[in-house]
Amino acid sequence: MRAGADAIIATHAAGRRRGRWDAASIDTETLGLQQLRDRLCLVQLCDRAGRATIVQLPRDQVIASTPPDSRAPRLKRVLEDPRVLKVLHFARFDVAVLRHYLGIRLWPLYCTRTASKLVRTYTDRHGLKDVALELLDVEMDKVTRHSDWASAQLSPEQVRYAISDVTMLIPIMERLDAMVVREGRKELAQECFRVIPVMAELDLRGYDLLFEH
């Protein structure tokens, strides 16, 4: 489903009343992996009921003379709701791009990649595709990831890819969190999540390997 900001606000409000918006999975698509060069194009959201929304962001909205936090006020209101746990995979990247282009500060958050690294210590495969295959028995097609997300008209394959990513994050979080609790690492995971916004800010400021010797 593709929607504007007003529709997102309505969905958020209705979801809060039904208890579906205590957590929301979030993903973004950009033109590349260089956050300051490769602009934000898409924001995807999904609630616990599996209702997914795609928000397309035109260039003149995210590359503008206006302050970042005024560029998408309705989306900002939804994503900064402190009552909603934001679930992301490799949250550090998404936190940085949302902060840079839209002035959105995500908190509280849960990073499934971080949780995977904390508890799936029997493997070095922590990409979303690998985690989804093991925990949900779902094989993801990542070919469409490398495509033009700035296109005004997304292809059906792009829409399917964007939705498939975000709809799996809450089920993955639930399975990973059970493992984190089982291994007594819940408090450690929470401390790791608290560091992510700081790491994202360091990325935006150009600091690399700040804590290395």
* Average pLDDT score over the chain: 91
Q: What is the pLDDT of residues 16-62, one digit of tens each?
A: 555 567 999 999 999 999 999 999 999 999 999 999 999 999 999 99
pLDDT at 7 over 70: no
pLDDT value of residue 210: 85
pLDDT value of residue 1: 44
pLDDT bin (cut points 50, 70, 90) of residue 165 is: confident
pLDDT at 96 over 90: yes
Return the CATH architecture of domain 5-204. Answer: 2-Layer Sandwich (3.30)
Q: Name the pairing type of β-strands 85-88 and 23-30.
A: parallel
Please tell me the pTM assigned to this model: 0.89
Please state the rounded mean pLDDT for residues 71-79. 95
pLDDT value of residue 46: 96
Q: Name the pairing type of β-strands 23-30 and 40-47.
A: antiparallel
Q: Which of 169, 43, 159, 152 is nearest to 101 (CA)?
A: 43
Of residues 118 and 64, more confidently modeled: 118
Q: What is the pLDDT of residues 105-122, one digit of tens each?
A: 999 999 999 999 999 999
pLDDT value of residue 141: 80
Sorted by where each begins, the domain ranges of the chain are: 5-204
